[in-house]
Amino acid sequence: MDRPMRQVCVVTGATSGIGRWIALGLARAGYHVVLVCRDRQRSIAVADWIAREVPGCSTETKLADLSSLRATHDLGQQIAAAHPRLSLLVNNAGILTAQRQLSAEGRELVLTVNHLAPFVLTDALEGALRAGSPARIVNVGSSTSDRAWIDPDNLELAHHWRMVRAYRRSKLAMMMSTFARAERLRGSGVVANVVHPGMVATDLVRERGATGLVWRLLAPLLRTAEQGADTPLHVALAPDWAEVTGAYVKDRAAVRPNRRALDAALVRKVDASTHALAAQTLSARVPA
């Protein structure tokens, strides 16, 4: 007798931190896990680790630099072509930098990796998620968004950039566009939610200077990556979350988000600005 086909899920930032534990949990749940990674050797290592932990699991790796919206869009198209029916997308990859940096495409880096790339990837995979419904989108946010303010006309913080301000804003922008997408997807069988994993000791901060040192000193006081994966996995897998959409989740429970994320007019403006930034970047593609 043929074995039933596995449901397919996609996890970004799968080589380290909570991403690898989310991927492991989904493999244990029987999914075919598409691991989106930046580095080939690390992607091989995490796939091997999951295979050792879950004999008989099914994984594949996809390499992409999520600081490039073009590469992210192409990745989404490749995954959708290979897997026209998806059950789950976990946008987990994130970054925090001590200095304002631009991507190779000229976009502010923190906003790009934390918000624009998940937005573009989800756009590219939305058709496959609809085809695979019931399906779920789980976006890994941050409680720092609770204290953020946002200007839809200045998402990239062209002026007065600060590390924490940029990170907070990127996560609030992600949340607001997630809520906008959840509304667009109502009735489609696809739900979209934002999850705060807790304060987790990960390699989110890539700096080697004072910022990285402070982060490493704080690490013993924070949750482990395995603990941080608990709430994202719960929202991805629990039957109780199959029909919940447009929620902000901490410690497995829906909580009230930043009041700005409840302002429908502001949410629409942020989402429209996100669309515009993504379209502008993608339309600048140089023909092969």
d(Cα 285, Cα 288) in Å, to the nearest integer? Answer: 9
- Provide the domain limits for residue 101: 8-283
Q: Is residue 50 part of a domain?
A: yes
d(Cα 140, Cα 153) in Å, to the nearest integer? Answer: 24
The pLDDT value recorded for residue 286 is 52
The answer to whether residues 200 and 223 touch, using CB atoms and an 8 Å cutoff, is: yes
d(Cα 265, Cα 56) in Å, to the nearest integer? Answer: 48
The pLDDT value recorded for residue 288 is 44
Q: Is residue 1 part of a domain?
A: no
Q: With a cut of 90, say whether residue 2 has pLDDT above it.
A: no
Query: Who contacts 112 (Cβ-Cβ below 8 Å, separation ≥6)?
Result: 66, 67, 69, 103, 105
Annotated active-site residue 167? The verdict is yes
The pLDDT value recorded for residue 222 is 63
172-221: pLDDT as tens digits: 999 999 999 999 999 999 999 999 997 765 555 545 554 554 445 455 54
The answer to whether residues 167 and 96 touch, using CB atoms and an 8 Å cutoff, is: yes
Residue with tokens 């923190």: 110
Q: What predicted TM-score, i.e. pTM, was given to this entire model? A: 0.91
Main-chain dihedrals φ then ψ at residue 43, nearest 5 degrees? -65, -40
Q: Is residue 3 part of a domain?
A: no
Q: With a cut of 50, say whether residue 111 has pLDDT above it.
A: yes
Q: One of 21, 31, 167, 248 is an active-site residue; which one?
A: 167
76-106: pLDDT as tens digits: 999 999 999 999 999 999 999 989 999 999 9
CATH at 154:
3.40.50.720
Instruction: Describe the crossing of helices 264-283 and 69-82 by its angle, rounded to 10 degrees.
Output: 90
220-279: pLDDT as tens digits: 546 688 999 999 999 999 999 999 999 999 999 999 999 999 999 999 999 999 999 999
Q: Is residue 227 part of a domain?
A: yes
Which SS3 state, helix, strand or coil, does residue 280 take?
Answer: helix
Q: With a cut of 50, say whether residue 152 has pLDDT above it.
A: yes
Q: pLDDT band at residue 3, thresholds of 50, 70 and 90?
A: very low
Q: Is residue 245 part of a domain?
A: yes
Query: Who contacts 270 (Cβ-Cβ below 8 Å, separation ≥6)?
Result: 150, 152, 155, 173, 176, 177, 180
Q: Is residue 145 part of a domain?
A: yes
Which SS3 state, helix, strand or coil, does residue 136 take?
Answer: strand
How many structural domains comprise the chain?
1
27-68: pLDDT as tens digits: 999 999 999 999 999 999 999 999 999 999 999 999 999 999
